[in-house]
Amino acid sequence: MADCIFCRIAAGDIPCREVHADTDFVAFRDLNPQAPVHFLVIPRRHVAALTDLTGADADLVGRLQVTAAQVAAKLGLAETGYRFVINCGRDACQTVPHLHLHVLGGRALGWPPG
Ligand code: 5GP
Ligand code: ZN
């Protein structure tokens, strides 16, 4: 989608600090990090939010998480741990309407989240 910022990042039209790329997913550092390590993993295919997923997307979402875990390990988080977050909709403060998984680590994270 031409007017989607994350589609444009996936296409290489907007620069990012990439930490992983393959045929289906791109991972890059968050512009406004909330932890010492904070990156986003997105599918190249435009999916606006969790609410748009169907059963046909189960494989995509599974591989999204496996990819995120592998990148987390590559960035040294496997031993100390990390958190996955997917915000969906207004109450969860989703600001970019292209599905993205946050991976946060490198410090002790509070619980419950805000
Ligand atoms: P959300 O609030 O939708 O779950 O998260 C969107 C995230 O995308 C935010 O953490 C924000 O800092 C990040 N973000 C927004 N625009 C850009 C951008 O152009 N580049 C990068 N690297 N991150 C972005
Ligand atoms: Zn998009």
User: Ligand 1 in contact with 31 (CB < 6 A)?
Assistant: yes
Per-residue pLDDT at 1: 83
pTM over 0.95: yes
Q: Domain of 96: which CATH number?
A: 3.30.428.10
Q: What is the 3-state secondary structure (H, E, C) of 13-74?
A: CCCCCEEEECCCEEEEECCCCCCCEEEEEEECCCCCCHHHCCHHHHHHHHHHHHHHHHHHHH
Query: Relative to the CA of 94, which ligand 1 atom is closest?
Result: 3
Residue 110: inside a domain: no
Catalytic-residue membership of 20: no
Residue 113: inside a domain: no
User: Ligand 1 in contact with 39 (CB < 6 A)?
Assistant: no
Name 29's Cβ contacts closer than 8 Å, sequence gap at least 6: 16, 17, 19, 38, 39, 40
Phi, psi of 92 (to 5 degrees): -95, 5
User: Ligand 1 in contact with 28 (CB < 6 A)?
Assistant: yes
Expressed as residue numbers, the domain containing 52 is 5-105
Residue 114: inside a domain: no
Question: Number of folded domains in the chain?
Answer: 1
| 2 Cα–ligand 2 center, Å | 8
pLDDT per residue, tens digit, the chain (114 aa), is 889 999 999 999 999 999 999 999 999 999 999 999 999 999 999 999 999 999 999 999 999 999 999 999 999 999 999 999 999 999 999 999 999 999 999 999 999 998
